[in-house]
Amino acid sequence: MTQKNSRAGLVFHGFRSFFRMPEGWHAICIYPGQLTPDEKSPRAGATDGVIDSYGGIMLEVKDIKKSFGDIEAVRGISFKVEKGDVLGFLGPNGAGKSTTMRMITGFLIPTAGTASVLGHDILDQPLEAKRQIGYLPENAPVYADMTVTGFLVFVAGMRGYSGKEKTDRVNAAVERCNLGRVRHQTIGTLSKGFRQRVCFAQAVLHDPPVLIMDEPTDGLDPNQKFAVRSMIREMAAGKAIVISTHILEEVEAVCTKAVIIGDGRILACGTPAELKARSPSGRLDEVFRTLTSGQNAA
């Protein structure tokens, strides 16, 4: 796969691995070089001294836009995320949340604007930026006929790990995501909650400083949501985390900051408390409805 952007004639090269699941065909997109650590650049997770050099800002999105033909899906979004922040990216369906996530992580090329991850511009330094990101896409695809351990070993190999380091990374991800009792089961036999944990494990296997998660608890039952949110809280202190969601309770449960978007634009931003203060009743759902009522879903 090749994608182009007019900025400096940039070309993104990559390929997709397609596989079939009960609900249809899915694809994992892999960019050559993205997953192999470059010894000239900080390894994913090795951020001591790097974060400080960028004033604590780990992710900065700068007036990013995306159009599909005549449809403007994202219309100039900007925000910053610092170490220790869990930013809730909140909006109704069709607001532009997933499109923004896909641009930040390099799966879509912005029509205009850019983002930087630990100072690495996603357009000028795409591989360096991607090495610092763990990405959990919406409805994250996995190989259903692989065991949990087999899938994570595969992911570790794609990220350039080998030998003892590969084994250690896989074991750490299994432990962190509480997958020990199902690690030898095939993924297709797991409950949705455990499949989501497997997807979470692949996103954190390389201990990235920036985590991007698109609807991480959508469709899970209350106990499964609690487990995923607990994992997010446990990792929050040492990372910058962005969670896309339309579930208001998610923001209050795990987020330190929130951005509300609608129709591809930022409508409000602040801490959950600051946003709730916009309503006389102090209810986030009222603020959300007031800001997003009448927004077109796409």
pTM: 0.81
Task: Specify the CATH number for 2-139+209-219+236-292; select among 3.40.50.1820, 3.40.50.300, 3.90.1520.10, 3.90.226.10.
Answer: 3.40.50.300
**Beta-ladder partners of 261:** 266
User: For the residues 259-283, what does the mean pLDDT come to?
Assistant: 94
* pLDDT score for 54: 53
The single-letter code of the amino acid at 255 is C
User: For the residues 168-180, what does the mean pLDDT come to?
Assistant: 95
* pLDDT score for 191: 92
Q: What is the DSSP letter of 293?
A: T
**Read out DSSP for 143-181?**
-TTSBHHHHHHHHHHHTT--HHHHHHHHHHHHHHTT-GG
Q: Is a pLDDT exceeding 50 seen at residue 93?
A: yes
Report which of 280, 279, 246, 242 is spatially closest to residue 261, judged by C-alpha positions.
246
The percent of residues in the chain predicted with pLDDT above 70, rounded, is 80
Q: What is the DSSP letter of 7?
A: G
* pLDDT score for 55: 57
Q: Is a pLDDT exceeding 80 seen at residue 122?
A: yes
Q: Is a pLDDT exceeding 50 seen at residue 8?
A: no
* pLDDT score for 130: 94
Q: What are phi and psi of 217, to 5 degrees?
A: -115, 10
Q: What tens digit of pLDDT does each residue of 13-25 get? A: 343 444 444 444 4
Domain boundaries, the chain: 2-139+209-219+236-292
